[in-house]
Amino acid sequence: MPTKIYHEAYNYQLSPDRIAQRPVHPYDTAKLLTVNRREAKIEDSNFTCLPRLLRAGDLLVFNDSRVIPARFLGKMAGRDASLEVLLVHRQSGGIWRCLGKPLKKFKPGSLLVFEEGLRAKVLERVSEQEVLLEFFCEDEAVDLNSLMSRVGQMPIPPYIRRGRADESDRLDYQTIFASRDGSIAAPTASLHFTPELITGLKEARCQIAYATLHVGTASFLPLWDEVGEGVTRLKAPAAETYGFCSELLSKMVETKARGGRVIAVGTTMVRALESMVRHRACSGAFVETDLFILPGFEFKVVDALITNFHQPRTTHLLLVQAFMGRLLLERSYQHALSNEYRFLSYGDGMFIE
């Protein structure tokens, strides 16, 4: 099966000049490619038109996770060579699982030095890619969490300005719904939504709901490993934590009973919503999901999807292929490439119904 998926997964060439380096302003003026799966029909639109594209009674579910300033640039104590740390998961207090670059420098006992007196000690290597770090303040009177929020940068992807964020990214790379700290990448489909667009959706009698999925390394770590000449191994994406409230369950049941559609805003919400019904998760509790959505997957909850344009051979693009089929996906992406759509996190989007 993995070999078959490797050969059947949609792949395409993305020129660097098609990758958006900044979002458009206002955010909701981004282009929106609408795709009707039943009719195999593709049309150009934009996000401001979304209220007219949806039906009264449709339910849009957004990810309310908040991106944390998770990237830290520093040096090893006593050395000039630069290093980079990306927070992955808090173990307890100031102890975090992290990605480190270059990883070979992160030896147990080493001291990492960052700005404003922020320090970290390397505790151990916990996997092929992760290390365990203990962060602390040189000045014990300084609040550690506040200092880390100031010193840390927004973890924009490396294809955006080589991953070097500035102050504008603290606003641009955060959705208007963000309320629960925990993501190390933005749920980018939601970045297009403005208060004005939400007002328009409500006036069109669309419903709004939220769930939380803290976006982790599943969004950007390689999906395939080259394990030998001509031999490729498919890797399952890392588990992510999600949670929801009982109100969301009620809204979804009522929406479907009335003939409305559950519309996931972003691939992260697809993973969360489809995990809910499979794991029979309890509302109010945060649990992990390792759900891997591949072509052939049976969708039980999501009726339509709003998503950005994704990198080739990623978990996100495989999920979209599972939802709309390879042929229609290929047509849609080729249309977007031919019509000056902007790609990836700060780019344009698709509405797939």
Residues 297-309: tens digit of each pLDDT: 999 999 999 999 9
Spatial contact of 96 and 135, defined as CB atoms under 8 Å apart = yes
Give residue 1's pLDDT band: very low, low, confident or very high (50, 70, 90): very low
71-152 — its CATH code? 2.40.10.240
Q: Choose the weakest-confidence range: 6-10, 230-234, 249-253.
A: 230-234
Residue 23's nearest CA partner among 200, 156, 185, 207 is: 156
Q: Specify whether the backbone of 176 is left (phi greater than 0), alpha (psi in -120 to 50) or beta.
A: alpha
Q: What one-character-per-residue DSSP string does 268-311 give?
A: HHHHHHHHHHHHTPPTT--EEE-----TT---SS-SEEEEE---
Specify the pLDDT at position 279. Answer: 76
15-26: average pLDDT = 97
- Architecture, CATH, for domain 2-67+170-352: 3-Layer(aba) Sandwich (3.40)
Specify the pLDDT at position 219. Answer: 76
Residue 142 pLDDT exceeds 80 = yes
The residues facing 99 across adjacent strands are 86, 130
Beta-strand (E) ranges in the chain? 31-36, 41-46, 59-63, 65-67, 71-76, 82-92, 95-101, 111-113, 118-125, 130-137, 180-183, 207-214, 224-228, 231-234, 240-243, 262-265, 287-289, 304-308, 349-352
32-41: average pLDDT = 98
What does the block give as tokens for 37?
């799966």
**Sole residue written with tokens 């030896």:** 107
Segment 184-228, tens digit of pLDDT: 999 999 999 999 999 999 999 999 999 999 999 877 776 766 655
Segment 67-82, tens digit of pLDDT: 999 999 999 998 888 9
Segment 280-293, tens digit of pLDDT: 666 667 889 999 99
151-179: average pLDDT = 97
Every domain range in the chain assigned CATH 2.40.10.240: 71-152
Terminal Cα-to-Cα distance of the chain (whole angstroms): 28
Average model confidence (pLDDT) for the chain? 93
Report how far residue 233's alpha carbon sits from residue 75's, in angstroms, rounded to the nearest whole number.
34
343-347: average pLDDT = 99
Please state, in angstroms and as integers, the Cα–Cα distance from residue 257 to each residue in 58, 264, 338, following that order: 11, 17, 40
241-270: average pLDDT = 95
Specify the pLDDT at position 290. Answer: 92
56-63: average pLDDT = 98
Residue 329's nearest CA partner among 317, 337, 341, 340 is: 317
Report how far residue 50's alpha carbon sits from residue 34's, in angstroms, rounded to the nearest whole number.
10
Specify the pLDDT at position 230. Answer: 55
Residue 127 pLDDT exceeds 90 = no
- Phi, psi values for residue 327, rounded to 5°: -65, -45
Specify the pLDDT at position 128. Answer: 82
Every domain range in the chain assigned CATH 3.40.1780.10: 2-67+170-352
Spatial contact of 291 and 240, defined as CB atoms under 8 Å apart = no
pTM of the shown model: 0.93
Specify the pLDDT at position 146. Answer: 95
Spatial contact of 64 and 212, defined as CB atoms under 8 Å apart = yes
Specify the pLDDT at position 140. Answer: 85
Residues with Cβ < 8 Å from 352, sequence gap 6 or more? 35, 37, 304, 305, 306, 307, 320, 323, 324
Q: Choose the weakest-confidence range: 107-111, 187-191, 216-220, 314-318.
A: 216-220
